[in-house]
Chains A and B, each alone.
Chain A
Amino acid sequence: MKPPAPLFLARRGYRYRRLTDAARILPVLGAFLFLLPLLWGGGMTRSGVIYLFAIWICLIVLSAILARLLSAYGERSQEDGEGGTD
């Protein structure tokens, strides 16, 4: 239906798709890291606090970067990005 997008737009659309992939993978990564302490043993409150909060803030930063990139790319490639992402 739509005419084929020019090369630089296609590249942009491609980037956008990969960013959405990253946005989908991020919670999986987070879940994995939050479950990792299951493999530890012994009294772990101190190390647990440090580990969990460090991972937590890292995820927040990553998520913020992704959100910024997504909205930057998303505004330009709205038409070709939204339609068939699912």
Chain B
Amino acid sequence: MVPFNLLVLVSVLYVVLLFLVAFAAEKRAQQGRLGWLRSPWIYTLSLSVYATAWTFYGAVGYAARSGLEFVTIYLGPTLVMIGWWWVVRKLVRIGRSQRITSIADLISSRYGKSNLLGVIVTLMAVIGTTPYIALQLQSVTVSFAVFASQTPQGWGVPDLRSTALWVAAGLALFTILFGTRNLDANERHHGVVTAIALEAIVKLVALLAVGVFVVWGVAQGPADILARIDASPIATWEMNGGRWVTLLFLAGAAFLTLPRMFQVLVVENSDERHLTTASWAFPLYIFLISLFVVPIAVVGLAQLPEGSNPDLFVLTIPLSFDAEALAMLTFLGGFSSATSMVIVAAIALSTMVSNHIVMPIWLSARQGGASMSGDVRTVVLRSRRISIGAILALGYLYYVFSGGGAALAAIGLISFTGVAQVLPALLGGIFWRGATRVGAIAGLVLGFSVWAYTMFLPSFGESVLMSAQMLAEGPWGIGWLRPQALFGITGLDPLVHAVFWSMALNTGAFVLGSLMSFPDPLERLQGAQFVNVFEHSGGARGWSGRAAEAEDLLVMAQRILGPEEAQALFQAESRAQGREGYLPDVTPDFIERLERELTGSVGAATAHAMLGQIIGGSSVSVEDLMAVADETAQMLEYSSQLEAKSRELERTARQLRDANEKLTELSVQKDAFLSQISHELRTPMTSIRAFSEILMDGKDMSPAEQRRYSSIIHDETIRLTRLLDDLLDLSVLENGQVTLNYQPANLHDLLERAVTATASAETGREIRIIRDEAAENIPLQTDPDRLRQVFINLISNARKYCDAPEPELRITVRRRGDELRVDFIDNGSGIPKRSQGVIFEKFSRLSDQAAAGGAGLGLAICREIMANLGGQVSYLPGQGGAAFRVILPLSRRQSQAAE
């Protein structure tokens, strides 16, 4: 028989060992000699907090009651771990890149650093975990009691409650000592993790030892065990399909969402590569844990007296066979399972409570407090320590009030279902960018309510929180709201019923809420960060560069990270910015880095809020985005304005170039014109001078000769005068300074007078003129003198230049709409094609054959007159001879170039 004192002594020694191990590990880590502390094996063993006292004692009890069903609790996590490439790898990467401190932090951070979500998940976790902690306390006290009841010295059953109180207090002390030693930026607890790894080995060895004892000590090897299985009451166990599937799912889900599992799996992970080892080593661990469960159950059912508690077979079998050392080892194994779970759960929950509930309240209670003096670290640490105490107190109270009655397995499953409600928001958050805060809140609240209604509240037993009548008939007699037969679906196993409805409604609300809501900018940024974590593991972008004082930031960082670490961080930043010895510039990148460092200590939402207080306002508001969009639009507009300006400049330059060319051309023309004029003037001048000299010298000149010479001089002066007249006329016409004398006229009269005028001219040959006098009778509003001048010019040109043997000129008149067309067509050889372009230029004469006729200004004058009259004169090619067309407006037009 084990003396109770010895048992207590061994327990205390074991606890002291744990303290020493944790202390040594912590010391090593502080000195930076991490070494094996960061080995994948420590990581794998720390995952064993999944196997709690519920596993250590409860699995055998579960097997004794429900056969093989217990194994689903371990197969689920096995599937999750061997499928690490899907979810766990992503979770760990996100946890590392976003400095996630807890599952509530993950959910809150993913959905736009929403503190409301953090609070919801924290409350759910506390409610879901408290019974589980109570369960651990119960298992430790009950196992104590088992030893106590067997002592012959008459110890009697010690007071279970005081034992539980002692255990709870001890655990609180250990957790506070090693779980809140520091506010590590990475929230890793080397001491605790190492102690837990040691406990993992102890519980595995203990269970294996009991298993070996049962198989080879009590029974005669595996074959005998198989025979005993066939003979035992559980041999006829049949698989319940619904429960089997539900439990597999539930265990897998809980493995990811239990706060303590998230703590060891994601938060305490120091190297992603450890997952490759854990992916098979952890399944192997729980495989070994489960291996002897059925043999122990079978042997216990057969060997122990009727009515023994199957939950304690692991302990009572060695005791009944007087294997006291083994019993002691088993006790330590159970103790280890319970304590490691409580420690990790308390750390995880206290982190959540302090980051999502205490700190926000503290911050809002001290408006503008983040930049006030005082050490926030002490506040955070104190709030964590108090939280740990409170959580363990809650567990103890739950244990006291529930009376420690219910079967262990039942409490475990209720807890699992509660925390599994986080699963849709978790998976949706890391795989679906469309998942929103509204959807997550809706899913969590609905799922958790359904869980509470269908599972948690009824679990207290009839008439405690729910009356028997309500359970049987539903609230107010509404049948389809019966807690264990929602929507009138009866016949389902209560567990399957609760899991099915809570998860279905949870997922439905989550998806629907996400589809129908619109995420805010920060949420969308975080969503992209989480879902695409493998594409870019950078931090969440966010802080716009507002004027935050580096000094304020340093003050705040010192209070959270501690002076040394904060100063080191700021110095490193200064060095990176190349301004060593000064405070760093407050760049958005720097703020981001700082936020992530702080996140590691106080959680994403709180860190965000604290920085927000100093920097002013939240990081990315819709206004900021709009401002950015505005700026972009402005820049676009500006650049398009620039483009337009440059196009305009180009156009102007082209115009200037054109003008320059035209000027050059005009200057050339002017030179040509001047030389032409001088030439034209010089010819008559020369003959006038010559003949006047002859007259001056000719004393013996006959009067006939005198008359002839003076008449030549006279002719030449007339020619000169005409030339000058023409030039004057042309210049007046070209400058538009001519005054037109508009009056009614008749085309026929005009042509008649023109023909008459030309006929009386002395130069030129006789020409036959063909006219259609009837068609010519058209009234006009024009300047008759100018128009007649044009006609005369054209007719006399025909007379001068028509080279036909019998020259004739046909004048046709046609009306075309608003215009009058007068064509002058002779039967000569016409004007060569190459010359057609220049005949209207000044001084253009095609030949010198009738040079006396004029200076070549006639057609140029015609063109100017017609332009001034609002019409035009042009050469008409292809008419068999020279052909000119005069186009006249019938009425007076305003669109004169001159006016």
Please report A residues at the B interface, Cβ cutoff 8 Å. 20, 23-24, 26-28, 30-31, 34-35, 37-38, 40-46, 48-50, 52-53, 56-57, 59-64, 66-68, 70-71, 82-86
Q: Which residues of A contact B798 (CB under 8 A)?
A: none
- Known A34-B75, A63-B279, A71-B273; contact A48-B68, beta-carbon cutoff 8 A: yes
Residues B237 and A44 in contact, CB atoms below 8 Å apart: yes
Q: Which residues of B (520-541) have their CB < 8 Å from a CB of A?
A: 532, 534-535
Residues A57 and B86 in contact, CB atoms below 8 Å apart: no
Q: Does B245 contact A (CB under 8 A)?
A: yes
Q: Which residues of B contact A46 (CB under 8 A)?
A: 226, 229-230, 235
Expressed in whole angstroms, the Cα–Cα distance for A40 and B787 within the complex equals 120
Residues A45 and B83 in contact, CB atoms below 8 Å apart: no
Interface of B is mostly: helix
Using A24-B83, A44-B237, A83-B535 as known contacts, list a sample of 16 further A-B pairs with CB atoms less than 8 Å apart, ordered by residue number in A.
A23-B83, A30-B82, A30-B83, A43-B238, A46-B229, A46-B230, A49-B68, A49-B229, A49-B294, A56-B75, A56-B283, A60-B284, A63-B81, A63-B280, A67-B279, A85-B534
Chain A minimum-CB-distance residue to B233: A45
Please report B residues at the A interface, Cβ cutoff 8 Å. 67-68, 71, 75, 78-86, 226, 229-230, 232, 234-239, 241, 244-245, 248, 273, 276-277, 279-281, 283-284, 287, 290-291, 294, 532, 534-535
Q: Which residues of A contact B273 (CB under 8 A)?
A: 71
Residues A70 and B276 in contact, CB atoms below 8 Å apart: yes
- Known A34-B248, A64-B280; contact A24-B85, beta-carbon cutoff 8 A: yes
Q: Which residues of A contact B71 (CB under 8 A)?
A: 52
Chain A minimum-CB-distance residue to B295: A49
Expressed in whole angstroms, the Cα–Cα distance for A28 and B83 within the complex equals 8
Expressed in whole angstroms, the Cα–Cα distance for A70 and B245 within the complex equals 30
Expressed in whole angstroms, the Cα–Cα distance for A38 and B235 within the complex equals 16
Q: Which residues of B contact A40 (CB under 8 A)?
A: 239
Task: State the Cβ distance, A26 to closest chain B Cβ, in Å.
Answer: 5
- Known A31-B79, A56-B283; contact A67-B237, beta-carbon cutoff 8 A: no
Expressed in whole angstroms, the Cα–Cα distance for A35 and B252 within the complex equals 14
Residues B280 and A60 in contact, CB atoms below 8 Å apart: yes
Expressed in whole angstroms, the Cα–Cα distance for A43 and B79 within the complex equals 26
- Known A44-B237, A46-B229, A67-B280; contact A59-B82, beta-carbon cutoff 8 A: yes
Q: Which residues of A contact B81 (CB under 8 A)?
A: 63
Expressed in whole angstroms, the Cα–Cα distance for A24 and B78 within the complex equals 14
- Known A20-B85, A56-B287, A60-B283; contact A38-B239, beta-carbon cutoff 8 A: yes
Task: State the Cβ distance, B412 to closest chain A Cβ, in Å.
Answer: 20
Expressed in whole angstroms, the Cα–Cα distance for A20 and B68 within the complex equals 32
Chain B minimum-CB-distance residue to A27: B83
Q: Which residues of A contact B234 (CB under 8 A)?
A: 45
Chain A minimum-CB-distance residue to B90: A86
Q: Which residues of B contact A57 (CB under 8 A)?
A: 287
- Known A52-B75, A71-B276; contact A60-B68, beta-carbon cutoff 8 A: no
Chain B minimum-CB-distance residue to A19: B85
Task: State the Cβ distance, A40 to closest chain B Cβ, in Å.
Answer: 7
Expressed in whole angstroms, the Cα–Cα distance for A49 and B287 within the complex equals 12
Chain A minimum-CB-distance residue to B229: A46
Name the 7 nearest CB pairs between A and B, nearest first: A27-B83, A64-B280, A43-B236, A63-B280, A23-B85, A67-B276, A63-B82
Expressed in whole angstroms, the Cα–Cα distance for A40 and B86 within the complex equals 30
5 A–B contacts, CB within 8 A, in A order: A35-B244, A45-B67, A53-B287, A60-B82, A67-B280
